[in-house]
Structure 1
Amino acid sequence: MSDAWGRRVLKREIGLFDATALGIGAIIGSGIFVVTGIVAGIAGPAMVFSIIIAGIIAVISAMSIAELGSYLPEEGGTYAYAQKLISPFAGFIAGWIWIFSNIFVGAAVSLGFAHYFVTLLPSIPVKVIAVAICLIFIIINYLGLKGSVLFNNILVLAKILILLFFIAFGLGFIRPGTFTPLMAEGSLGILSGAALIFFAYTGFARVTIMAEEVKDPEKTIPRSIYLALGISTAIYLLVSFVAVGLAGAPVLAHSGSPLTDAIGMTGNSGAVLVISLGAMIATASVLLTTIMGISRIVFSMARSRDLPPLFGRIHPRFCTPHYSITITGACMIAALILADLALVVAVSTFAMLLYYLIANIAALRLPPEHRRYPLAVPVTGALSCAGLIVFLSPASWIIGCIGLVTGGVWFVLRRKSAS
């Protein structure tokens, strides 16, 4: 397809159900299966409050994202919003941050999938499995969006059913004593936990990255974001409540597979197997939407000439940004060797909070006639994102800043060569 200026554009074939499923698939993933344990160690039984705080901040930023998505329903998300409403440099940094963060997220969830897989087939090396699953999803995205969306919907449905099983099965085995003392780590622990658990929410704006492929984007994008956030937050709260009730925060804090260990407290090996499979489905779902989202950002940046034009080409048969998918996928596979889950979570959260900070600033620049919410919404969103960054580790600050400087240098060199 081509637009009024003769540019190749992508088909609009994502409806409300598919868009919501994409959001849920991006939100509920490695966070609920892995970060739950880390946050339990920081916030203790009060981790439910960390989830609520992170969820509220996500909703506030989602309000800004929703009105931006309605005003500029274009491929690229915050990259496009910041470029047009703030400055080309702000737009470039937003896109660069997204790519920087999600390449390592994709590598981490590939490894997460592999670690759960080897519990079933321990004879296969972890790295081999991780590379294989990454390649499979690169191919799925390459062959066409419709297959990607359909496959994602299947993964999301299976994932939700398994988490509902965890909740329903585990409720009968909860030990009330595991919730005392509730505020063992104090308010600082809750806020630090909220900063890390925000990692589990960062996918809520994934559908805006693909806005050019969404049907009736002015209505579909806001509705899908709110639905995805509401459903995901409810599941997070119930799962964390049951997990703490089964195993207690100290056990979860020292576990690499907290939900598996929590359900293991019931003594039912079948339930343990189901949850292990659920973890694999969750990481696979996030990997699929991560590859999908990164490739679209790179595609959009190439069309704006911030990246080489090769990334902006669309496959004549499959109508997908095939070079963008292939090259970013290759970077993800390369990153598998360097992926460290604990650090990746912090670095990715640092980058994503900056990304949503830029989105809230962009929302401040919207024309008054296109503003759905008071100015207090994007102001609160920007301050909240900046506030959470303070509670992240120094290592994440260092690596995140290195990534920002690298992007800034590329932007300057690119502009100089163009002139």
Structure 2
Amino acid sequence: MTKELERDLGLYAVLAISIGAMVGSGIFILPALAVDIAGPAVILAYLLAGAIVLPAAVSKSEMATAMPEAGGTYLFIERGMGPLLGTVAGIGTWFALSFKGALALVGGVPYLLLLFDVPPSVTTPVALALAVLLVLVNLLGAKQTGRLQVGIVIVMLAALVWFVIGGVPSVRGSNYAPFFTGGAGGLLEATGLVFVSYAGVTKVASVAEEVSNPDRNIPIGILGSLVFTTILYALIVTVMIGVTDPVTIADSDTPMALAADATLGTAGVIAVVLAAILALVSTANAGILSSSRYPFAMARDDLVPDAMATISDRFGTPSNSITLTGVVLLLLIAFVPLLEIAKLASAFQILVFVLINLAVVAFREGSAEYEPSYTAPLYPWMQVAGAVGGLVLLTQMGTVPLVGAVVLTAAGVGWFAVYGRNRVDREGAAVDAVRRQVGRNAVDRTRETIDVVERDHRVLVALDHELSKEEERWFVRIAAAVARANDGEVVVARFEQVPDQVSLTYASETESPADVRFEAQTSELDAEFDVPVSSGTIVCHDVRHAIVNYADHEEADLLLMEEAASPAGLRGLLFGSDVEWVLRHAPCDVSLLNPGANGLGECDVVGVLSDEGPYDPAKIAVADAIAVAAGGSIRLAYAGRGDASDIEGKTLRDYHAAVAALCSVPVESCVPFGDSLRNGASDDLSDADLLVVSAAERTNDAIAAYLTGTDSPVLVVHQQESELRGRLARALERRLF
């Protein structure tokens, strides 16, 4: 039986975890660096960073109520954007939180040194000792962790509030001038730097599986802590700059203590130092608590070894995951220069927040089961603003952080390729959202193709050898159906090739028995169809050039020919068949008819066969016209499609239903979906009287194999305008659909 985590974190614990995860290095360490960049405008930098975090906060709140499970950021991105990006987000965020936790512990030691007369060499040993203690606390259970967090946050906030209230009377207005020392660029750079101060706002989502009443406590905890912390940050920085010269702040390792000394004296310094130590320990504690849940959640999704999902029988915590996180934390403290690493983690955190905003869009636009009890307001504009704002900040982080984010991303991709790809068979909601959009675009193009009736639509039937009356009837029937659907006419032309030594004038003036038979049988066929049918013989030296030139002369909208195999030998290898040449150079759409072994009979069932992509609009339009003329129906099928998930099946069913609604005849979708999906479509189209495929799909292995094994007539449709979309666009459609 699978063990589950106990839900014992209440609202106060949620608020404490979120506030404690934010109020740490963001206010005790970073202001000195930010003031050096932006001057007094750092106050706006904190407010702007909070505003940019807000979309990700409400998005994460929404997803946390829909999926209150351990894993947080990883879980939401994995479910929304797919296992690949989920792996990148999980591993990257795990490292980023570990980096930030280690930075908080090491950054807190300078404040500790203000109280004790100890050498700087004790910084690392003290940080290591604190890290070991916090790992042990987390191993004991989330309840103990939550209670510890509440106590730390209460004491810390009391000291910070005292700092603000006690410092306001000493504020000097002259310290804020000039305000925009670094200009707009400095403001944005400082905003990117302090952005990490708010990264902890959504950490509570990573322990959502342990939160009681998550539908209420998670949104209130996340949004409440963000608003409170943003205001607190702005007030603290305002007081800090107002009571101390900005240049002095920029040169200090303990800016908060420096400001407290200027307003509150020794007692204030002691209070701020204690608050700083508690805050930074709180940040590290929340980091261990939340980051350890990422390997835990990833293990349950088979993206990391199963050992990371083991829950302790004694304490009910993911002991292996916490232990691994603790080991990484200790190694970072002992061996890695953390300031630059923290900047790298900040850049990756911004990227993760961008993905969080996109994940909400993926869930809402896709067809995955998604029922949040809280929904983000102003959708999708808030998510778009958050994603764009995050990307703008990324451009202000500098080269090294961006390169670091790329390296972390590459590491996640590499791990998934080596370990996860062969263990998971899932797709994110974003894939289905894109698939649905591809389907909607294809339906729109199909609607335009079917609904636009072109008056005087001319279909040219090009015959390059003598056919019997029945054989010619097959081609005229197809041409007449398309022409009738567009209030057009049919032109049947027989192309007679003569040697180069023979004058075309002489050849055209000489009527052969074949010419007589052609004129006679075409006249008889004209009476069978309720569209105008005209005919003529074209004498030429080169059939393929003559066909293209005549189609251009007649302003043909569709050219119908007999499909022919490429010639054997070197000529076929180098030049292909005349038909292939015509496909490339024709001034209009082209259809190729292969009557099959038994010829074209009644078209009661017109089968439309496709590969993995959406159906070409021209293919649907032609099939509909033929089925209408025959009083038949259309059957949609795929060839060689692998097993589809239930989500994919629902999207494909909706797409087929939309296509069917555009047609004038009954349309049947003969592709089973979900667990019952069969490979191939041979059984489904075995009784089709005519198969319609796209020229671009003939090289598809599954379709080529199917067409080789069937005796049914095949109509190949080539839409010239589709070539403008390019092969890449069609390949992407097939891949995504």
Please say if residues 39 and 197 of structure 1, whose CA atoms lie closer than 8 Å, have aligned partners that are also in contact: yes
Residue in structure 1 matched with residue 391 of structure 2 by the alignment = 386
Residue in structure 1 matched with residue 42 of structure 2 by the alignment = 47
Structure 2 distance, partners of 1:26, 1:73, is: 19
Structure 2 distance, partners of 1:241, 1:138, is: 35
Corresponding position: 1:408 with 2:413: yes
Residue in structure 2 matched with residue 104 of structure 1 by the alignment = 99
Unmatched runs of 5 consecutive residues or more in structure 1: 1-5
Residue in structure 2 matched with residue 399 of structure 1 by the alignment = 404
Q: Deviations over 1:273-318 (max 9, x none)?
A: 2211111011011011000001111111111111111111000011
Residue in structure 1 matched with residue 6 of structure 2 by the alignment = 11
Aligned pairs for 1:67-146 within 5 A: 67-123=62-118, 125-146=122-143
- Return the offset for 1:196: 0.8
Please say if residues 99 and 329 of structure 2, whose CA atoms lie closer than 8 Å, have aligned partners that are also in contact: yes
Corresponding position: 1:151 with 2:158: no
Structure 1 distance, partners of 2:69, 2:229, is: 25
Structure 1 distance, partners of 2:125, 2:109, is: 8
Structure 1 distance, partners of 2:129, 2:376, is: 45
Q: Which moved further from structure 2: 398-407 or 25-34?
A: 398-407
Please say if residues 311 and 321 of structure 1, whose CA atoms lie closer than 8 Å, have aligned partners that are also in contact: yes
Aligned pairs for 1:316-355 within 5 A: 316-355=313-352
Residue in structure 2 matched with residue 235 of structure 1 by the alignment = 232
Structure 1 distance, partners of 2:117, 2:291, is: 31
Residue in structure 2 matched with residue 276 of structure 1 by the alignment = 273
Corresponding position: 1:309 with 2:306: yes
Structure 1 distance, partners of 2:193, 2:276, is: 19
Corresponding position: 1:30 with 2:21: no
Match for 2:27: what amino acid?
I
Out of 149, 165, 185, the position equivalent to 1:188 is: 185
- Return the offset for 1:417: 6.3
Quick check: which one's helix share is greater?
1
Structure 1 distance, partners of 2:261, 2:13, is: 34
Please say if residues 19 and 214 of structure 1, whose CA atoms lie closer than 8 Å, have aligned partners that are also in contact: yes
Structure 2 distance, partners of 1:386, 1:281, is: 33
Structure 1 distance, partners of 2:102, 2:192, is: 21
Please say if residues 37 and 189 of structure 2, whose CA atoms lie closer than 8 Å, have aligned partners that are also in contact: yes
Match for 1:265: what amino acid?
A
- Return the offset for 1:97: 1.4
Structure 1 distance, partners of 2:330, 2:109, is: 13
Q: Deviations over 1:135-163 (max 9, x none)?
A: 00000000111111001000001110111
- Between the two proteins, the alignment pairs up a number of residues equal to 414
- Return the offset for 1:265: 2.3
Q: Deviations over 1:45-97 (max 9, x none)?
A: 11111111101011121111111112211111121112222211111111111
Please say if residues 332 and 338 of structure 2, whose CA atoms lie closer than 8 Å, have aligned partners that are also in contact: no
Q: Deviations over 1:353-389 (max 9, x none)?
A: 1111111110111236755431112111111111111
Q: Deviations over 1:387-410 (max 9, x none)?
A: 111110211122222222122111
Structure 1 distance, partners of 2:77, 2:415, is: 18
Summarize the Cα distance change of 1:84–1:39 in structure 2 as closer, same or farther, 3 Å threshold.
same
Please say if residues 108 and 339 of structure 1, whose CA atoms lie closer than 8 Å, have aligned partners that are also in contact: no
Match for 1:289: what amino acid?
A
- Return the offset for 1:40: 0.9
Corresponding position: 1:211 with 2:211: no
Residue in structure 1 matched with residue 618 of structure 2 by the alignment = none
Q: Deviations over 1:26-52 (max 9, x none)?
A: 111111000011111111111111111
Structure 1 distance, partners of 2:420, 2:296, is: 18
- Return the offset for 1:189: 1.1
Please say if residues 99 and 338 of structure 2, whose CA atoms lie closer than 8 Å, have aligned partners that are also in contact: no
Structure 1 distance, partners of 2:154, 2:312, is: 30
Structure 2 distance, partners of 1:341, 1:239, is: 25
Aligned residue for 1:7, secondary structure, equals coil
Match for 1:195: what amino acid?
G
Aligned residue for 2:311, secondary structure, equals coil
Out of 151, 165, 170, the position equivalent to 1:168 is: 165
Residue in structure 2 matched with residue 199 of structure 1 by the alignment = 196
Residue in structure 2 matched with residue 377 of structure 1 by the alignment = 382
Residue in structure 2 matched with residue 287 of structure 1 by the alignment = 284
- Return the offset for 1:118: 2.8
Quick check: which one's strand share is greater?
2
Structure 2 distance, partners of 1:21, 1:418, is: 37
Please say if residues 55 and 357 of structure 2, whose CA atoms lie closer than 8 Å, have aligned partners that are also in contact: no
Structure 2 distance, partners of 1:76, 1:193, is: 30
- Return the offset for 1:341: 4.4
TM-score (norm 2): 0.55
- Return the offset for 1:184: 2.0
Structure 1 distance, partners of 2:323, 2:116, is: 28
Match for 1:364: what amino acid?
V
Summarize the Cα distance change of 1:24–1:413 in structure 2 as closer, same or farther, 3 Å threshold.
same
Corresponding position: 1:252 with 2:249: yes
Q: Deviations over 1:299-345 (max 9, x none)?
A: 11111111111111000011000111111101100011344343133
Structure 2 distance, partners of 1:227, 1:160, is: 15
Structure 1 distance, partners of 2:303, 2:181, is: 49
Q: Which of structures 1 and 2 has the larger relative contact order (alpha carbons within 8 angstroms, sep 6+)?
A: 1
Summarize the Cα distance change of 1:293–1:139 in structure 2 as closer, same or farther, 3 Å threshold.
same
Aligned residue for 1:336, secondary structure, equals helix
Aligned residue for 2:334, secondary structure, equals coil
TM-score (norm 1): 0.95
Corresponding position: 1:225 with 2:222: yes
Aligned residue for 2:263, secondary structure, equals coil
Aligned residue for 1:172, secondary structure, equals helix
Residue in structure 2 matched with residue 63 of structure 1 by the alignment = 58
Please say if residues 344 and 405 of structure 2, whose CA atoms lie closer than 8 Å, have aligned partners that are also in contact: yes
What percentage of residue pairs aligned between the two structures are identical? 28
Unmatched runs of 5 consecutive residues or more in structure 2: 366-370, 425-737
Match for 1:356: what amino acid?
F
Residue in structure 2 matched with residue 261 of structure 1 by the alignment = 258
Please say if residues 167 and 264 of structure 2, whose CA atoms lie closer than 8 Å, have aligned partners that are also in contact: no
Residue in structure 2 matched with residue 3 of structure 1 by the alignment = none
Match for 1:387: what amino acid?
V
Q: Deviations over 1:207-266 (max 9, x none)?
A: 100111111212221111111011111110110000000112211111111111122223
